[in-house]
Amino acid sequence: MLAMRFSHPAQAETAPLLLENIRKPRPANGQVLVRVLVCGVCHTDLHIAEGDIHPPKLPITLGHQAVGIVESLGHKVTSVDVGARVGIPWLFSACKKCEFCLRGEENLCPKARFTGFHFDGGFCEYMLADGNYLLPIPPTFSHEQAAPLLCAGIIGYRSLIKADLHPGERLGLIGFGASAHLAIQIARYWGCDIYAFSRSRKHQQHAIELGAIWAGSIDEKSPKILDRAVIFAPAGDLVPRVLERLRPGGTLAINAIHMSTIPAMDYQLIYGERTIRSIANATFLDGIQFLQLAEKINIHSDVTVYPLDKANRALLDLKNSSLKGEAVLNIQ
């Protein structure tokens, strides 16, 4: 089978993924074999490719927003049938026994394993998945529309929840890429006023098209103070600049698996019971709840589709912020 494999970190400009013909995997106990139809391209994939975060083993196949058809079942799999269309998200599995799992915080499980990081992901024709962590895809979504929901959508949803966002509040979205363009649709459904911050004029316009009442760069002053904010860009120097725009009692959620150093800042920026909270992965329940909400409010993913062998081009376009929404690889 064909797969875009990653063997050593390199800048996206140097095309770090190689198209290879590798052996088709076989499912072990509790696993399923999925024929991949499409797979979204996430900023986490870029971080791995460029060496910002390091998988425990190489080579590996990236991709954790895969939509596919279940082709065969390993022993003891009863949660899904052959022929079902499923989504495979970032969370591959968790132990279900530790204190975090028992509290419903499996995203923090020390034995959690992640798709395209611990296990080969969806930049390929076939992949394995844990039968207990497959997400059902609502039939209203096409394959290409569904792929971004499986990470950009889920983690954006969790970010809004962890930002303590209430209906009708003023929300700042900092960095307007794949995740923010889905999160804004949820926040608008909740009646929130959205203030979007981005370096890209194209992304600012995208935010306005999706209902933001204001869009500009972080160097500009937004018209109103924010109740809540979510940073999607992996730039630590944004944290104090966003806190300056946050009301006392407000919450800043940082949606980034990797971030540059947060600079030293004056205590007054967090005084007044402001909260800073990181977002670390997402739970299986987040995925279920988000996909139900996405179907209810008819979330729309803006996508640019690439063939599998153009995965390096998709990574570079992502790095250069030239995408409107998300890149999706068409596998079949």
CATH code, domain carrying 206:
3.40.50.720
The pLDDT of residue 222 is above 90: no
In terms of domains, do 12 and 133 share one? Answer: yes
In terms of domains, do 17 and 138 share one? Answer: yes
pLDDT for the residue numbered 143: 98
In terms of domains, do 133 and 50 share one? Answer: yes
The pLDDT of residue 332 is above 90: no
- Give residue 113's pLDDT band: very low, low, confident or very high (50, 70, 90): very high
- What is the share, in percent, of the chain residues with pLDDT greater than 70? 100
Q: How many C-beta atoms surround the C-beta of residue 273 within 10 A?
A: 9
Please, what sign has the CA dihedral across residues 294, 102, 274, 237? negative
**pLDDT tens profile 32-55:** 999 999 999 999 999 999 999 999
Calculate the dihedral angle through the C-alpha atoms of 330, 304, 183, 173, rounding to the nearest 10 degrees: 140
- Give residue 230's pLDDT band: very low, low, confident or very high (50, 70, 90): very high
The pLDDT of residue 296 is above 90: yes
Which amino acid, one-letter code, is at 76?
Answer: K
* Orientation angle between helical segments 178-189 and 201-209, nearest 10 degrees: 30
pLDDT for the residue numbered 221: 85
Average pLDDT, the chain: 97
In terms of domains, do 193 and 261 share one? Answer: yes
In terms of domains, do 120 and 49 share one? Answer: yes
pLDDT for the residue numbered 203: 96
Q: What is the pTM of this model?
A: 0.96
The pLDDT of residue 318 is above 90: yes
In terms of domains, do 245 and 312 share one? Answer: no
Dig out the tokens for 256 from the structure.
């980034």
Using DSSP's 3-state secondary structure scheme, residue 3 falls into strand
5/23 Cα distance (integer angstroms): 12
In terms of domains, do 204 and 59 share one? Answer: no
- Give residue 15's pLDDT band: very low, low, confident or very high (50, 70, 90): very high
Which amino acid, one-letter code, is at 207?
Answer: A
In terms of domains, do 233 and 181 share one? Answer: yes
CATH code, domain carrying 115:
3.90.180.10
In terms of domains, do 63 and 20 share one? Answer: yes
Dig out the tokens for 37 from the structure.
């139809």
The pLDDT of residue 220 is above 90: yes
In terms of domains, do 251 and 310 share one? Answer: no
Domain end marker among 256, 278, 300: 278
In 250-269, which positions are buried (b, 16+ CB within 10 angstroms) versus exposed (e)? bbbbbbbbebeeeeeeeeeb
Contacts of 271 by beta carbon, 8 Å cutoff, 6+ apart? none
What does the pLDDT average to over 293-309? 97
**pLDDT tens profile 174-192:** 999 999 999 999 999 999 9
Domain carrying residue 170: 154-278
In terms of domains, do 140 and 158 share one? Answer: no
Q: How many C-beta atoms surround the C-beta of residue 170 within 10 A?
A: 23
Are the CB atoms for 37 and 95 separated by under 8 Å?
no
pLDDT for the residue numbered 109: 98
**pLDDT tens profile 114-123:** 999 999 999 9
52/258 Cα distance (integer angstroms): 7
In terms of domains, do 10 and 100 share one? Answer: yes
Q: How many C-beta atoms surround the C-beta of residue 324 within 10 A?
A: 17
What does the pLDDT average to over 103-111? 97
- Give residue 128's pLDDT band: very low, low, confident or very high (50, 70, 90): very high
- Total domain count, the chain: 2
Domain end marker among 237, 260, 278: 278
